[in-house]
């Protein structure tokens, strides 16, 4: 049984015309998304800014309410949970946010930040065990336990992100949603945080939903990759195979933009025409057809179904790999 199973998930946000105006439409941020994630696995979720990646991650954590669909974690329907049952489920699904500064309360010390999660779930009944647990978490993410008495502004960006990771680990989760966890960091620090995440996964058996726009990072860390465009998943597959043999034209365009120092690995640059369509007025048929170099007449009227192109590899395209 998969650890996480998302089926036909749809998330919409109403749009209003000014402060006193009425509702003018809806933005369909996530549109009929289905995916699964196994225990101890990393699923990379990639796509352009605004494609719905973060909204999908927040919806899985029940921070955003979907219009329809289902989210099952260890066989339990998360959307049906309320009160204490939902709080207990949230202990097993945590999040590491993109901005390591704004995600931390500047009035809390590190001990306050980590201890809050422990207190909410009643994991450390006495002060001594609480302090030992906080010190252990800091060591696990490569920080000195003396940092527990300091405030977020006293740390570098990489150190703050390590604190964010420690906070997610505090309640012993099984799944962590990583929302662009290294995009705000220097390149050298990015590598350190990525290696830390890989080590924690190996030692703790964690599963990651790793959201990023950087395919090079995702290819290094993920076991499988899902490519998202305008709220829809357009291609999924094993990381190495998807990166070496992309079938959807959007995936090929993303991969062609990844820089490489090896001339033999460089791909012919594929520049997409047109602009990203407005999610307020998405195109009919295939959402990618206004920018697709191989679009045909039916792409404008029909939504292509997912075609199985290899073991675990599928793409929603009428003309894959052309």
Q: Give ∠ CA 31-37-43 in degrees, rounded to 5.
A: 80
- Please tell me the distance from the alpha carbon of residue 99 to that of residue 109, in angstroms, as a whole number: 18
Q: What tens digit of pLDDT does each residue of 207-250 get?
A: 999 999 888 889 889 999 999 999 999 999 999 999 889 999 99
9, 30 in Cβ contact below 8 A?
Answer: yes
Question: Residues with Cβ < 8 Å from 108, sequence gap 6 or more?
Answer: 116, 151, 152
pLDDT band (50, 70, 90) for residue 267 = low
Going from the C-alpha of 121 to that of each of 114, 157, 170, 208, 235, the distances in angstroms are 12, 28, 10, 22, 38
Q: What tens digit of pLDDT does each residue of 178-191 get?
A: 999 988 788 888 88
Burial of 21 (0-12, 13-18, 19+ CB in 10 A): exposed
| Homologous superfamily (CATH) for 4-92+173-316 | P-loop containing nucleotide triphosphate hydrolases (3.40.50.300)
Q: What tens digit of pLDDT does each residue of 86-127 get?
A: 988 889 999 999 888 888 999 999 999 999 988 888 887 788
Least confident of 20-24, 173-177, 277-281: 20-24
Q: Is 23 helix (H, G, I), strand (E, B) or coil?
A: strand
Q: Is 9 helix (H, G, I), strand (E, B) or coil?
A: strand
178 phi/psi in degrees, rounded to 5: -100, 105
Going from the C-alpha of 143 to that of each of 138, 158, 314, the distances in angstroms are 5, 11, 41
In the chain, where the domains are located: 4-92+173-316
One DSSP character per residue, 113-151 reads HHHHHHHHTT---SHHHHHHHHHHHHHHTT--GGGGGS-
Average pLDDT over the chain, rounded to whole? 89
User: Mean pLDDT over residues 27-37, rounded?
Assistant: 92
Is residue 40 predicted with pLDDT exceeding 60? yes
Strand pairing report for 42-46 and 207-212: parallel
Give long-range contacts, CB 8 A cutoff, 24+ apart: 72-79. 72/4, 72/5, 72/6, 72/7, 73/3, 73/4, 73/5, 73/175, 74/1, 74/3, 74/174, 75/1
């Amino acid at each position: 049984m998969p650890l996480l199973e998302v089926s036909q998930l749809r998330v919409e946000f109403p749009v209003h015309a000014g402060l006193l105006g009425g509702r003018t439409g809806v933005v369909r941020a996530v549109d009929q998304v289905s995916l699964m994630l196994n225990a101890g696995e990393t699923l990379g979720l990639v796509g352009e800014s605004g494609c719905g990646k973060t909204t999908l991650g927040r919806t899985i954590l029940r921070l955003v309410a979907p219009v329809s669909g289902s989210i099952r974690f260890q066989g339990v329907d998360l959307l049906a949970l309320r009160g204490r049952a939902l709080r207990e489920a949230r202990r097993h699904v945590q999040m590491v946010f993109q901005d390591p500064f704004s995600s931390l309360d500047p009035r809390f010390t590190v001990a306050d930040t980590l201890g809050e999660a422990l207190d909410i779930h009643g994991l450390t009944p006495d002060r001594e065990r609480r302090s030992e647990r906080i010190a252990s978490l800091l060591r696990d993410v490569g920080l000195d336990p003396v940092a527990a008495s300091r405030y977020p502004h006293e740390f570098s960006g990489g150190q703050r992100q390590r604190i964010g990771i420690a906070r997610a680990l505090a309640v012993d989760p099984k799944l962590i949603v990583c929302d662009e966890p290294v995009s705000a960091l220097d390149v050298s620090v990015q590598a350190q945080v990525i290696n830390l995440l890989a080590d924690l996964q190996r030692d703790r058996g964690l599963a990651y939903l790793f959201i990023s726009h950087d395919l090079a990072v995702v290819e290094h860390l993920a076991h499988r990759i899902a490519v998202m465009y305008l709220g829809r998943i357009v291609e999924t597959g094993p990381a190495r195979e998807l990166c070496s043999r992309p079938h959807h034209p959007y995936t090929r365009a993303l991969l062609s933009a990844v820089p490489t120092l090896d001339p033999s690995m460089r791909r012919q640059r594929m520049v997409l025409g047109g602009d990203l369509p407005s999610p307020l007025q998405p195109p009919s048929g295939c959402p990618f057809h206004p920018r697709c170099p191989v679009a045909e007449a039916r792409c404008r009227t029909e939504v292509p179904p997912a075609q199985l192109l290899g073991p675990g590899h599928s793409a929603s395209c009428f003309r894959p790999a052309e």
